[in-house]
A and B are shown apart, each in its own frame.
Chain A
Amino acid sequence: MAVGKKDISCPPYVKGREIKAEDIKEGKVTYWEHHPDIRYSFTAGQAISRFLKGLKEGKLLATKCDHCGRIMFPPRMFCELCFRPVDEWCEVKDTGVVETFSVSYIDPDAKPLEEPVIVAVISVDGASPKMGFMHILGEVDPDDVYIGMKVKAVWKSESEREGSVTDIKYWKPLEG
Protein backbone atom coordinates (compact mmCIF):
# COMPACT_ATOMS: atom_id res chain seq x y z
CA MET A 1 0.00 0.00 0.00
CA ALA A 2 1.32 3.39 -0.97
CA VAL A 3 2.26 5.78 1.80
CA GLY A 4 -0.62 8.11 2.61
CA LYS A 5 -3.11 6.15 0.61
CA LYS A 6 -5.35 4.93 3.41
CA ASP A 7 -6.55 8.28 4.79
CA ILE A 8 -7.48 9.92 1.51
CA SER A 9 -11.17 10.14 0.74
CA CYS A 10 -11.16 10.40 -3.01
CA PRO A 11 -12.26 8.17 -5.87
CA PRO A 12 -10.58 4.78 -5.65
CA TYR A 13 -7.14 4.41 -7.14
CA VAL A 14 -6.95 2.89 -10.59
CA LYS A 15 -5.97 -0.66 -9.92
CA GLY A 16 -2.63 -1.18 -11.59
CA ARG A 17 -1.17 -4.32 -13.03
CA GLU A 18 2.20 -5.70 -12.15
CA ILE A 19 4.63 -5.18 -15.02
CA LYS A 20 7.39 -7.63 -15.76
CA ALA A 21 10.53 -7.02 -17.82
CA GLU A 22 9.13 -9.34 -20.52
CA ASP A 23 6.01 -7.16 -20.86
CA ILE A 24 8.21 -4.23 -21.88
CA LYS A 25 10.28 -6.35 -24.25
CA GLU A 26 7.14 -7.73 -25.85
CA GLY A 27 5.73 -4.22 -26.40
CA LYS A 28 2.83 -4.68 -23.98
CA VAL A 29 3.69 -1.34 -22.40
CA THR A 30 3.16 1.58 -24.75
CA TYR A 31 6.15 3.87 -25.34
CA TRP A 32 7.08 6.18 -28.16
CA GLU A 33 10.78 6.77 -28.69
CA HIS A 34 12.29 9.94 -30.11
CA HIS A 35 16.00 10.54 -30.56
CA PRO A 36 16.38 14.23 -31.39
CA ASP A 37 19.25 15.57 -33.45
CA ILE A 38 20.02 18.67 -31.42
CA ARG A 39 23.44 20.17 -32.00
CA TYR A 40 25.19 23.42 -31.07
CA SER A 41 28.46 25.15 -31.74
CA PHE A 42 29.22 27.30 -28.72
CA THR A 43 31.09 30.54 -29.38
CA ALA A 44 33.99 30.45 -26.93
CA GLY A 45 34.28 34.24 -26.84
CA GLN A 46 37.14 36.54 -25.85
CA ALA A 47 38.20 35.04 -22.55
CA ILE A 48 37.78 31.33 -23.16
CA SER A 49 39.23 31.47 -26.69
CA ARG A 50 42.50 32.80 -25.32
CA PHE A 51 42.39 30.32 -22.43
CA LEU A 52 41.96 27.40 -24.86
CA LYS A 53 44.76 28.72 -27.06
CA GLY A 54 46.92 28.80 -23.93
CA LEU A 55 46.13 25.15 -23.19
CA LYS A 56 47.29 24.23 -26.68
CA GLU A 57 50.58 25.94 -25.86
CA GLY A 58 50.77 24.11 -22.53
CA LYS A 59 49.98 27.22 -20.45
CA LEU A 60 47.27 28.03 -17.94
CA LEU A 61 46.11 31.62 -18.48
CA ALA A 62 44.20 33.77 -15.99
CA THR A 63 42.93 37.35 -15.82
CA LYS A 64 43.40 39.90 -13.08
CA CYS A 65 41.10 42.50 -11.54
CA ASP A 66 43.04 45.45 -10.11
CA HIS A 67 40.03 46.53 -8.07
CA CYS A 68 39.71 43.46 -5.84
CA GLY A 69 43.16 42.13 -6.72
CA ARG A 70 41.90 38.67 -7.61
CA ILE A 71 43.62 36.53 -10.22
CA MET A 72 40.74 34.71 -11.84
CA PHE A 73 41.03 31.23 -13.21
CA PRO A 74 39.56 30.14 -15.58
CA PRO A 75 39.81 33.63 -17.03
CA ARG A 76 36.88 35.92 -17.78
CA MET A 77 36.66 39.37 -19.38
CA PHE A 78 34.93 40.91 -16.39
CA CYS A 79 35.20 40.59 -12.62
CA GLU A 80 31.87 39.22 -11.42
CA LEU A 81 32.31 40.67 -7.92
CA CYS A 82 33.36 44.21 -8.88
CA PHE A 83 31.37 44.13 -12.13
CA ARG A 84 34.06 45.83 -14.20
CA PRO A 85 36.33 44.72 -17.05
CA VAL A 86 39.47 42.80 -16.08
CA ASP A 87 42.81 44.61 -16.28
CA GLU A 88 45.41 42.14 -17.48
CA TRP A 89 46.26 38.60 -18.47
CA CYS A 90 48.76 36.47 -16.61
CA GLU A 91 49.98 32.89 -16.46
CA VAL A 92 49.35 30.64 -13.45
CA LYS A 93 51.18 27.43 -12.55
CA ASP A 94 50.16 23.93 -13.58
CA THR A 95 50.30 22.79 -9.97
CA GLY A 96 47.64 23.11 -7.32
CA VAL A 97 45.87 21.74 -4.28
CA VAL A 98 42.91 19.34 -4.12
CA GLU A 99 39.97 21.25 -2.61
CA THR A 100 37.48 18.40 -2.85
CA PHE A 101 37.24 15.08 -4.65
CA SER A 102 34.99 12.13 -5.41
CA VAL A 103 35.81 8.56 -6.35
CA SER A 104 33.13 7.70 -8.90
CA TYR A 105 32.36 4.13 -9.93
CA ILE A 106 29.28 4.57 -12.13
CA ASP A 107 28.88 6.20 -15.58
CA PRO A 108 25.99 8.61 -16.50
CA ASP A 109 23.98 5.65 -17.78
CA ALA A 110 24.34 3.95 -14.37
CA LYS A 111 26.73 1.33 -15.73
CA PRO A 112 29.77 0.33 -13.65
CA LEU A 113 33.05 1.88 -14.83
CA GLU A 114 36.01 -0.46 -15.33
CA GLU A 115 38.24 1.86 -13.34
CA PRO A 116 36.85 4.46 -10.91
CA VAL A 117 37.20 8.10 -12.00
CA ILE A 118 38.62 10.43 -9.37
CA VAL A 119 37.05 13.83 -10.00
CA ALA A 120 38.58 16.73 -8.11
CA VAL A 121 38.37 20.49 -7.77
CA ILE A 122 41.89 21.86 -7.80
CA SER A 123 42.91 25.30 -6.58
CA VAL A 124 45.56 26.34 -9.08
CA ASP A 125 48.81 27.81 -7.73
CA GLY A 126 49.15 31.47 -8.66
CA ALA A 127 45.40 32.08 -8.89
CA SER A 128 43.44 33.60 -6.03
CA PRO A 129 42.20 31.21 -3.33
CA LYS A 130 39.18 29.13 -4.25
CA MET A 131 39.79 29.64 -7.97
CA GLY A 132 39.16 26.04 -8.85
CA PHE A 133 39.60 23.91 -11.90
CA MET A 134 37.46 20.78 -11.93
CA HIS A 135 39.42 17.96 -13.50
CA ILE A 136 40.43 14.35 -12.85
CA LEU A 137 43.27 12.80 -10.89
CA GLY A 138 45.51 10.01 -12.14
CA GLU A 139 48.58 7.96 -11.15
CA VAL A 140 47.13 7.73 -7.66
CA ASP A 141 45.28 5.08 -5.69
CA PRO A 142 41.81 6.31 -4.64
CA ASP A 143 42.67 5.45 -1.04
CA ASP A 144 45.63 7.81 -1.11
CA VAL A 145 43.76 10.96 -2.22
CA TYR A 146 43.08 13.59 0.42
CA ILE A 147 41.88 17.18 0.58
CA GLY A 148 44.93 19.42 0.61
CA MET A 149 46.98 17.05 -1.57
CA LYS A 150 49.39 18.86 -3.87
CA VAL A 151 49.00 17.90 -7.53
CA LYS A 152 50.56 18.69 -10.93
CA ALA A 153 49.03 18.64 -14.42
CA VAL A 154 49.97 15.83 -16.79
CA TRP A 155 49.73 17.28 -20.28
CA LYS A 156 49.16 15.58 -23.60
CA SER A 157 52.08 15.89 -25.98
CA GLU A 158 52.29 19.10 -27.99
CA SER A 159 51.12 17.38 -31.17
CA GLU A 160 48.11 15.85 -29.40
CA ARG A 161 46.91 19.12 -27.84
CA GLU A 162 43.94 20.73 -29.57
CA GLY A 163 42.90 23.66 -27.37
CA SER A 164 40.58 21.80 -25.01
CA VAL A 165 40.39 21.24 -21.24
CA THR A 166 41.30 17.63 -22.03
CA ASP A 167 44.73 18.82 -23.24
CA ILE A 168 45.56 18.09 -19.61
CA LYS A 169 45.15 14.32 -19.30
CA TYR A 170 44.86 14.40 -15.51
CA TRP A 171 46.55 15.77 -12.40
CA LYS A 172 48.92 13.55 -10.45
CA PRO A 173 50.32 13.82 -6.93
CA LEU A 174 53.26 16.20 -6.73
CA GLU A 175 56.06 14.30 -5.08
CA GLY A 176 58.12 15.76 -2.27
Chain B
Amino acid sequence: MTRVAVVGAGYSGFNSNTPDLSWKELMYEAAVRAYEDAGVDPRKDVDAFVTCAEDFWEGFAIFDEFVPDQLGAVLKPTFTVDADFLYGIANAVMIIKSGLADIAVVEAHSKASDILTFGEVIKFAFDPIWLRPIGKAHPYYFAALEKSAYMTARGYSDDVFAKVVEKNKANGRLNSDAPYAGKVTADDVLRSEAVFYPIRKLEIAQRADGAIVFVLAREEIARELTDTPIWVSGVGWWSETSNYDTMSFTAAYARKSAEMAYKMAGITNPARQIDVAEVDDRFAFKEVQHIEALKLAKSNEIPELVEGGYFGRGGDLPVNVSGGSLSVGNLLEATGGQKALEVVLQLRGEAGRRQVDAEVGVAQAWRYIPTASGAVAVFSR
Protein backbone atom coordinates (compact mmCIF):
# COMPACT_ATOMS: atom_id res chain seq x y z
CA MET B 1 0.00 0.00 0.00
CA THR B 2 1.31 3.42 -0.88
CA ARG B 3 2.72 5.82 1.67
CA VAL B 4 0.99 9.19 1.98
CA ALA B 5 2.74 12.53 2.31
CA VAL B 6 1.83 16.12 3.02
CA VAL B 7 2.95 18.00 -0.10
CA GLY B 8 1.38 21.36 0.59
CA ALA B 9 0.23 23.38 3.57
CA GLY B 10 -1.46 26.76 3.70
CA TYR B 11 -3.18 28.75 6.36
CA SER B 12 -4.88 32.03 7.03
CA GLY B 13 -4.84 33.77 10.38
CA PHE B 14 -4.50 33.12 13.22
CA ASN B 15 -6.19 36.10 14.82
CA SER B 16 -8.48 36.81 17.72
CA ASN B 17 -10.95 38.27 15.23
CA THR B 18 -11.17 38.57 11.43
CA PRO B 19 -13.85 41.19 10.78
CA ASP B 20 -12.53 41.82 7.26
CA LEU B 21 -13.10 38.32 5.90
CA SER B 22 -16.04 35.94 5.79
CA TRP B 23 -15.24 32.35 6.70
CA LYS B 24 -15.42 31.50 3.00
CA GLU B 25 -12.81 34.13 2.16
CA LEU B 26 -10.63 32.89 5.04
CA MET B 27 -10.85 29.37 3.66
CA TYR B 28 -10.10 30.54 0.11
CA GLU B 29 -6.95 32.30 1.32
CA ALA B 30 -5.68 29.18 3.12
CA ALA B 31 -6.54 27.01 0.11
CA VAL B 32 -4.75 29.26 -2.39
CA ARG B 33 -1.62 29.18 -0.25
CA ALA B 34 -1.74 25.39 0.14
CA TYR B 35 -2.14 24.82 -3.62
CA GLU B 36 0.66 27.28 -4.33
CA ASP B 37 2.85 25.48 -1.79
CA ALA B 38 2.08 22.08 -3.34
CA GLY B 39 2.24 23.31 -6.93
CA VAL B 40 -1.16 21.83 -7.79
CA ASP B 41 -4.29 23.16 -9.46
CA PRO B 42 -7.32 22.07 -7.44
CA ARG B 43 -9.55 22.17 -10.53
CA LYS B 44 -7.35 19.68 -12.41
CA ASP B 45 -5.13 17.80 -10.00
CA VAL B 46 -7.06 17.16 -6.79
CA ASP B 47 -9.22 14.03 -6.65
CA ALA B 48 -10.97 14.40 -3.29
CA PHE B 49 -11.65 17.02 -0.64
CA VAL B 50 -12.29 16.49 3.08
CA THR B 51 -13.42 19.33 5.32
CA CYS B 52 -13.78 19.21 9.08
CA ALA B 53 -16.54 21.21 10.72
CA GLU B 54 -19.26 21.08 13.33
CA ASP B 55 -22.53 22.71 12.29
CA PHE B 56 -23.10 24.40 15.65
CA TRP B 57 -19.71 26.14 15.50
CA GLU B 58 -20.62 27.29 11.99
CA GLY B 59 -24.12 28.50 12.76
CA PHE B 60 -25.76 26.70 9.87
CA ALA B 61 -26.69 23.14 9.10
CA ILE B 62 -25.33 20.70 6.54
CA PHE B 63 -22.02 22.51 6.35
CA ASP B 64 -20.67 20.29 3.58
CA GLU B 65 -23.02 22.00 1.12
CA PHE B 66 -21.10 25.26 1.62
CA VAL B 67 -17.67 23.79 0.96
CA PRO B 68 -16.93 23.43 -2.77
CA ASP B 69 -16.67 27.02 -4.09
CA GLN B 70 -13.89 28.38 -1.92
CA LEU B 71 -11.87 25.16 -1.97
CA GLY B 72 -11.79 24.64 -5.75
CA ALA B 73 -14.00 21.57 -5.26
CA VAL B 74 -17.01 22.36 -7.48
CA LEU B 75 -18.20 19.14 -9.18
CA LYS B 76 -15.61 17.06 -7.30
CA PRO B 77 -15.89 14.39 -4.57
CA THR B 78 -16.26 16.25 -1.28
CA PHE B 79 -17.45 15.45 2.20
CA THR B 80 -17.31 16.91 5.69
CA VAL B 81 -16.27 15.13 8.85
CA ASP B 82 -17.83 16.63 11.97
CA ALA B 83 -14.57 16.44 13.88
CA ASP B 84 -11.11 17.92 14.23
CA PHE B 85 -8.70 18.43 11.29
CA LEU B 86 -6.70 15.34 12.34
CA TYR B 87 -9.75 13.15 11.68
CA GLY B 88 -9.76 14.71 8.21
CA ILE B 89 -6.11 13.70 7.78
CA ALA B 90 -7.05 10.14 8.77
CA ASN B 91 -9.83 10.14 6.15
CA ALA B 92 -7.56 11.52 3.43
CA VAL B 93 -4.93 8.90 4.25
CA MET B 94 -7.57 6.17 3.87
CA ILE B 95 -8.86 7.62 0.59
CA ILE B 96 -5.35 7.71 -0.87
CA LYS B 97 -4.19 4.35 0.50
CA SER B 98 -7.31 2.66 -0.81
CA GLY B 99 -6.53 3.97 -4.28
CA LEU B 100 -9.61 6.18 -4.60
CA ALA B 101 -7.48 9.30 -4.96
CA ASP B 102 -3.92 10.24 -5.83
CA ILE B 103 -4.19 13.70 -4.33
CA ALA B 104 -6.57 14.68 -1.54
CA VAL B 105 -7.13 17.91 0.33
CA VAL B 106 -8.00 18.43 4.00
CA GLU B 107 -9.45 21.64 5.39
CA ALA B 108 -10.57 22.96 8.78
CA HIS B 109 -11.25 26.45 10.03
CA SER B 110 -12.51 28.45 12.94
CA LYS B 111 -14.67 31.53 12.75
CA ALA B 112 -15.13 31.50 16.51
CA SER B 113 -15.54 35.28 16.52
CA ASP B 114 -18.90 34.84 14.77
CA ILE B 115 -20.31 32.96 17.77
CA LEU B 116 -22.10 35.31 20.17
CA THR B 117 -23.12 32.73 22.78
CA PHE B 118 -20.08 30.44 22.95
CA GLY B 119 -21.00 28.88 26.30
CA GLU B 120 -24.51 28.08 25.10
CA VAL B 121 -23.17 26.43 21.95
CA ILE B 122 -20.88 24.24 24.06
CA LYS B 123 -23.84 23.40 26.28
CA PHE B 124 -25.62 22.16 23.19
CA ALA B 125 -23.15 19.25 23.21
CA PHE B 126 -24.41 18.17 26.63
CA ASP B 127 -27.02 15.50 27.12
CA PRO B 128 -30.24 17.53 27.12
CA ILE B 129 -31.91 15.69 29.97
CA TRP B 130 -28.98 14.79 32.22
CA LEU B 131 -26.57 17.65 31.96
CA ARG B 132 -28.00 20.80 30.41
CA PRO B 133 -30.35 21.66 33.26
CA ILE B 134 -27.60 21.48 35.93
CA GLY B 135 -26.54 24.93 37.13
CA LYS B 136 -26.02 28.15 35.25
CA ALA B 137 -22.21 28.31 35.11
CA HIS B 138 -20.31 28.66 31.83
CA PRO B 139 -19.46 25.09 30.71
CA TYR B 140 -15.70 25.63 31.15
CA TYR B 141 -16.40 24.01 34.53
CA PHE B 142 -16.39 20.69 32.68
CA ALA B 143 -12.66 21.11 32.12
CA ALA B 144 -12.24 22.11 35.75
CA LEU B 145 -13.97 18.92 36.93
CA GLU B 146 -11.52 16.93 34.84
CA LYS B 147 -8.50 18.90 36.00
CA SER B 148 -9.51 18.49 39.61
CA ALA B 149 -9.83 14.72 39.32
CA TYR B 150 -6.67 14.37 37.24
CA MET B 151 -4.32 16.45 39.36
CA THR B 152 -5.57 14.80 42.53
CA ALA B 153 -5.09 11.32 41.09
CA ARG B 154 -1.55 12.19 39.98
CA GLY B 155 -0.63 14.29 42.99
CA TYR B 156 0.38 17.28 40.85
CA SER B 157 0.47 20.80 42.22
CA ASP B 158 -0.74 23.80 40.22
CA ASP B 159 2.88 24.85 39.66
CA VAL B 160 3.16 22.28 36.85
CA PHE B 161 0.27 23.78 34.88
CA ALA B 162 1.42 27.34 35.54
CA LYS B 163 4.82 26.42 34.11
CA VAL B 164 3.15 25.00 31.00
CA VAL B 165 1.40 28.34 30.44
CA GLU B 166 4.66 30.23 30.95
CA LYS B 167 6.43 27.97 28.43
CA ASN B 168 3.73 28.11 25.76
CA LYS B 169 3.15 31.85 26.03
CA ALA B 170 6.93 32.32 25.68
CA ASN B 171 7.16 29.94 22.69
CA GLY B 172 4.41 31.88 20.98
CA ARG B 173 6.51 35.04 21.07
CA LEU B 174 8.59 33.57 18.24
CA ASN B 175 5.44 32.83 16.23
CA SER B 176 3.99 35.78 14.34
CA ASP B 177 0.67 33.94 14.12
CA ALA B 178 0.14 33.63 17.86
CA PRO B 179 -2.12 36.47 18.98
CA TYR B 180 -2.22 35.38 22.62
CA ALA B 181 1.54 34.97 23.14
CA GLY B 182 3.09 37.05 25.87
CA LYS B 183 5.53 37.42 28.68
CA VAL B 184 3.63 35.57 31.36
CA THR B 185 5.30 33.97 34.37
CA ALA B 186 4.08 30.97 36.32
CA ASP B 187 3.42 33.36 39.21
CA ASP B 188 1.19 35.48 36.96
CA VAL B 189 -0.78 32.35 36.14
CA LEU B 190 -1.15 31.35 39.78
CA ARG B 191 -2.26 34.88 40.63
CA SER B 192 -4.84 35.07 37.83
CA GLU B 193 -8.47 34.67 38.82
CA ALA B 194 -9.58 31.12 39.63
CA VAL B 195 -12.64 31.63 37.45
CA PHE B 196 -13.46 27.94 37.35
CA TYR B 197 -11.52 26.73 40.38
CA PRO B 198 -9.14 24.91 40.12
CA ILE B 199 -8.75 26.39 36.61
CA ARG B 200 -7.38 29.91 36.49
CA LYS B 201 -8.02 32.45 33.79
CA LEU B 202 -4.56 32.24 32.22
CA GLU B 203 -4.82 28.45 31.92
CA ILE B 204 -7.62 28.78 29.36
CA ALA B 205 -6.92 29.24 25.63
CA GLN B 206 -8.87 32.17 24.20
CA ARG B 207 -10.77 31.74 20.95
CA ALA B 208 -9.21 32.53 17.58
CA ASP B 209 -10.12 32.54 13.88
CA GLY B 210 -8.15 30.86 11.14
CA ALA B 211 -8.18 28.26 8.37
CA ILE B 212 -5.77 25.49 7.45
CA VAL B 213 -5.54 23.47 4.26
CA PHE B 214 -3.23 20.51 3.58
CA VAL B 215 -2.60 18.78 0.27
CA LEU B 216 -1.79 15.06 0.60
CA ALA B 217 -0.53 12.75 -2.13
CA ARG B 218 0.53 9.18 -2.67
CA GLU B 219 4.25 8.45 -2.61
CA GLU B 220 5.09 8.54 -6.30
CA ILE B 221 3.28 11.82 -6.87
CA ALA B 222 4.56 13.31 -3.64
CA ARG B 223 8.14 12.76 -4.77
CA GLU B 224 7.39 14.43 -8.10
CA LEU B 225 5.79 17.43 -6.43
CA THR B 226 8.28 18.18 -3.69
CA ASP B 227 11.77 17.52 -2.38
CA THR B 228 10.50 17.65 1.17
CA PRO B 229 7.48 15.35 1.43
CA ILE B 230 6.38 14.97 5.03
CA TRP B 231 5.06 11.44 5.49
CA VAL B 232 1.90 10.79 7.43
CA SER B 233 3.28 7.66 9.02
CA GLY B 234 0.48 6.99 11.46
CA VAL B 235 -3.06 8.07 12.29
CA GLY B 236 -5.34 7.16 15.17
CA TRP B 237 -8.63 8.23 16.69
CA TRP B 238 -10.60 7.05 19.67
CA SER B 239 -13.67 7.88 21.72
CA GLU B 240 -14.16 7.06 25.35
CA THR B 241 -17.65 7.97 26.56
CA SER B 242 -19.82 11.04 26.71
CA ASN B 243 -20.63 10.42 30.35
CA TYR B 244 -18.78 12.49 32.90
CA ASP B 245 -19.67 9.99 35.58
CA THR B 246 -17.78 7.17 33.90
CA MET B 247 -14.92 8.70 31.90
CA SER B 248 -11.33 8.16 32.94
CA PHE B 249 -10.19 11.82 33.37
CA THR B 250 -6.75 10.62 32.25
CA ALA B 251 -7.27 11.17 28.51
CA ALA B 252 -7.67 7.50 27.63
CA TYR B 253 -8.90 8.71 24.22
CA ALA B 254 -5.47 10.25 23.58
CA ARG B 255 -3.60 7.19 24.85
CA LYS B 256 -5.60 4.81 22.66
CA SER B 257 -5.46 7.00 19.55
CA ALA B 258 -1.70 7.43 20.04
CA GLU B 259 -1.26 3.67 20.38
CA MET B 260 -3.15 3.22 17.11
CA ALA B 261 -1.03 5.82 15.33
CA TYR B 262 2.25 4.61 16.82
CA LYS B 263 1.52 1.04 15.78
CA MET B 264 0.92 2.14 12.20
CA ALA B 265 4.09 4.28 12.28
CA GLY B 266 6.20 1.51 13.83
CA ILE B 267 6.94 3.58 16.91
CA THR B 268 7.66 1.40 19.92
CA ASN B 269 9.30 3.92 22.23
CA PRO B 270 7.62 7.28 21.67
CA ALA B 271 9.58 9.07 24.41
CA ARG B 272 12.75 8.36 22.45
CA GLN B 273 11.49 8.24 18.87
CA ILE B 274 9.38 11.41 18.85
CA ASP B 275 11.43 14.58 18.38
CA VAL B 276 8.74 17.21 18.52
CA ALA B 277 5.10 17.18 19.71
CA GLU B 278 2.15 19.52 19.39
CA VAL B 279 -0.57 18.48 21.79
CA ASP B 280 -3.93 19.94 22.70
CA ASP B 281 -3.40 22.54 25.43
CA ARG B 282 -6.70 24.40 25.31
CA PHE B 283 -6.64 24.11 29.08
CA ALA B 284 -3.11 24.02 30.51
CA PHE B 285 -3.63 20.74 32.38
CA LYS B 286 -4.59 19.11 29.05
CA GLU B 287 -1.01 19.45 27.83
CA VAL B 288 0.29 17.53 30.85
CA GLN B 289 -2.44 14.93 30.52
CA HIS B 290 -1.70 14.52 26.81
CA ILE B 291 2.09 14.30 27.30
CA GLU B 292 1.39 11.38 29.62
CA ALA B 293 -1.23 9.79 27.33
CA LEU B 294 1.08 10.05 24.30
CA LYS B 295 3.77 8.31 26.40
CA LEU B 296 6.23 11.13 25.87
CA ALA B 297 7.22 10.82 29.55
CA LYS B 298 6.23 8.86 32.64
CA SER B 299 3.56 10.56 34.71
CA ASN B 300 5.61 10.69 37.90
CA GLU B 301 8.48 12.37 36.07
CA ILE B 302 6.43 15.03 34.28
CA PRO B 303 6.50 17.77 36.99
CA GLU B 304 10.28 17.61 37.22
CA LEU B 305 10.71 17.52 33.44
CA VAL B 306 8.37 20.51 32.97
CA GLU B 307 10.26 22.44 35.65
CA GLY B 308 13.63 21.54 34.11
CA GLY B 309 12.68 22.70 30.60
CA TYR B 310 12.67 19.22 29.03
CA PHE B 311 9.58 20.15 26.97
CA GLY B 312 10.84 23.65 26.20
CA ARG B 313 12.05 24.87 22.81
CA GLY B 314 15.64 24.02 23.72
CA GLY B 315 14.72 20.87 25.62
CA ASP B 316 15.05 17.21 24.68
CA LEU B 317 11.43 16.90 23.54
CA PRO B 318 9.90 20.26 22.62
CA VAL B 319 6.13 20.30 23.16
CA ASN B 320 4.00 23.07 21.65
CA VAL B 321 6.94 24.97 20.28
CA SER B 322 4.39 26.94 18.21
CA GLY B 323 3.08 28.38 21.45
CA GLY B 324 0.21 25.93 21.43
CA SER B 325 -3.41 26.89 21.68
CA LEU B 326 -2.55 28.97 24.74
CA SER B 327 -0.67 31.35 22.40
CA VAL B 328 -2.33 30.74 19.03
CA GLY B 329 -5.86 30.49 20.40
CA ASN B 330 -8.62 27.93 20.42
CA LEU B 331 -9.25 27.21 16.74
CA LEU B 332 -12.18 24.84 17.38
CA GLU B 333 -12.05 22.03 14.77
CA ALA B 334 -8.92 23.59 13.23
CA THR B 335 -6.99 23.04 16.47
CA GLY B 336 -5.40 19.81 15.25
CA GLY B 337 -4.67 21.59 11.98
CA GLN B 338 -2.57 24.22 13.67
CA LYS B 339 -0.75 21.43 15.53
CA ALA B 340 -0.15 19.40 12.35
CA LEU B 341 0.94 22.56 10.53
CA GLU B 342 3.58 23.27 13.17
CA VAL B 343 4.90 19.71 13.00
CA VAL B 344 5.08 19.88 9.19
CA LEU B 345 6.89 23.25 9.27
CA GLN B 346 9.33 21.91 11.87
CA LEU B 347 10.06 18.73 9.88
CA ARG B 348 10.52 20.74 6.69
CA GLY B 349 12.90 23.11 8.45
CA GLU B 350 10.59 26.05 7.74
CA ALA B 351 9.76 27.08 11.30
CA GLY B 352 11.96 30.16 11.27
CA ARG B 353 13.17 31.48 14.60
CA ARG B 354 11.47 28.68 16.51
CA GLN B 355 13.04 25.86 14.45
CA VAL B 356 14.05 22.76 16.39
CA ASP B 357 15.90 19.70 15.16
CA ALA B 358 13.34 17.01 14.35
CA GLU B 359 12.84 13.96 12.13
CA VAL B 360 9.62 12.61 13.64
CA GLY B 361 6.77 14.61 15.12
CA VAL B 362 3.34 13.98 16.56
CA ALA B 363 0.22 16.15 16.49
CA GLN B 364 -2.73 15.50 18.79
CA ALA B 365 -6.12 17.10 19.25
CA TRP B 366 -9.00 16.58 21.63
CA ARG B 367 -12.61 17.25 20.61
CA TYR B 368 -12.91 19.81 23.39
CA ILE B 369 -15.44 19.94 26.19
CA PRO B 370 -17.52 17.98 26.93
CA THR B 371 -15.84 15.11 25.07
CA ALA B 372 -13.41 12.31 25.73
CA SER B 373 -12.52 11.87 22.07
CA GLY B 374 -9.54 12.82 19.99
CA ALA B 375 -7.13 12.00 17.20
CA VAL B 376 -3.39 11.69 16.67
CA ALA B 377 -1.17 11.87 13.59
CA VAL B 378 2.49 10.96 13.37
CA PHE B 379 4.59 12.74 10.74
CA SER B 380 8.12 11.98 9.59
CA ARG B 381 10.66 13.46 7.25
Q: What is A's interface to B at a CB cutoff of 8 Å?
A: 32, 34, 36-48, 76-78, 80-83
Contact = CB atoms under 8 A, between A and B. Distances in A.
Instruction: Give the interface residue-count category, chain B.
Output: 20 to 34
A82 B43 contact: yes
Contacts, number: 72
Contacts of A83: 35, 41-43, 72
B339 to A, nearest CB: 25
A45 B128 contact: no
A36 B113 contact: no
Nearest to B115: A40
B70 interface: yes
A40 B114 CA distance: 5
B69 interface: yes
Contacts of A81: 43, 74
Contact of A37 (B56, B120, B128): B120
Contacts of B116: 39-41
B23 A43 contact: yes
Contacts of A39: 116-117, 120
A45 B114 contact: no
Interface of B: 18-25, 28, 35, 41-43, 56, 59, 68-70, 72, 74, 111, 113-117, 120-121, 123-124, 128-129, 132-133
Interface of A is mostly: loop
A36 B123 contact: yes
Contacts of A32: 128-129, 133
Contacts of A41: 114, 116
A150 to B, nearest CB: 29
B165 to A, nearest CB: 30
B25 A46 contact: yes
B75 to A, nearest CB: 9
Contacts of B28: 77-78
A38 B120 contact: yes
A48 B114 contact: no
Nearest to A82: B43
A80 B41 contact: no
A9 B113 CA distance: 54
Contact of A40 (B20, B21, B59, B133): B59
A174 to B, nearest CB: 31
Contacts of A43: 18-23, 111, 113-114
A45 B22 contact: yes
Given A36-B123, A83-B43, 5 more contacts: A39-B120, A43-B19, A47-B25, A78-B70, A80-B74
Contacts of B70: 78, 80
B114 A46 contact: no
Given A32-B128, A36-B124, A78-B28, A42 B59 contact: yes
Nearest to A83: B72
A41 B118 CA distance: 12
Given A81-B74, A83-B72, A38 B20 contact: no
Contact of A38 (B18, B35, B121): B121
A34 B56 contact: no
13 contacts: A36-B123, A36-B124, A39-B116, A40-B59, A43-B23, A43-B113, A45-B21, A46-B21, A78-B28, A80-B70, A81-B43, A83-B42, A83-B72
Contacts of B18: 43
A45 B143 CA distance: 34
Contact of B114 (A37, A42, A47, A77): A42
Contacts of A82: 43
A7 to B, nearest CB: 35
Nearest to B128: A34
B124 A38 contact: yes
A25 to B, nearest CB: 21
A128 B168 CA distance: 51
A127 to B, nearest CB: 16
